[in-house]
Structure 1
Amino acid sequence: MPKPYPREFRDDVVKVARNREPGVLLKQIATDFGISESCLTNWLKTADVEDGLKPGTSAVDHAELREAKKRIRLLEQENEVLRRAAAYLSQANLPGKGSSHS
């Protein structure tokens, strides 16, 4: 996998592409910056989402979602442990099981 371009470079290329003169093709801008046209197209799509111009999941939203999913998994594991502990303790406290009451 190729090394990612620096954020500042991507931002500059997107700015040039968005503010291009009429008739200037994305392909030419991509060539001028030494990237592929598909790469530039992807950067523009990502920038549109990040800037709120198009619907989608921004990088911040994606990071928050990933953290929320990790937290949910942890809480589900903790809940399972507590459920098992409660079941074990309720069995241990039943009359006639482990106690000397008759």
Structure 2
Amino acid sequence: MSGKSKYPEQFRKDAVALARSSDRPLRQVARELGVNHETLRNWVRTAEQAQAAPPAGGVSPEERQELRALRKRVAELELEKDILRKAAAYFAQEMGR
């Protein structure tokens, strides 16, 4: 659902969700939304294709962002673990004296 459109992206997503969840005919849903039924049909088709096809590179932008955040968190945790290991060794040495 990309490209130049007079309809905002969120409106198109909501319209597709409504069309999928409604038991009313697509034509009726489109009429109620004030959209041409072929336009709505195209939005639904595009959404279905996007959902069925894996994202380019295998990772969506949301997943890529989450992956960056997780890698950052892993680096922080590894640093904390190293600090704690050194502190434990230090205190073990101090207790042994």
Please report the TM-score for the alignment, with normalisation by the length of structure 2. Answer: 0.49
Larger radius of gyration: 1
Question: Could you say which structure has the greater relative contact order, defined with CA pairs below 8 angstroms and 6 or more residues apart?
Answer: 2
More helix by share: 2
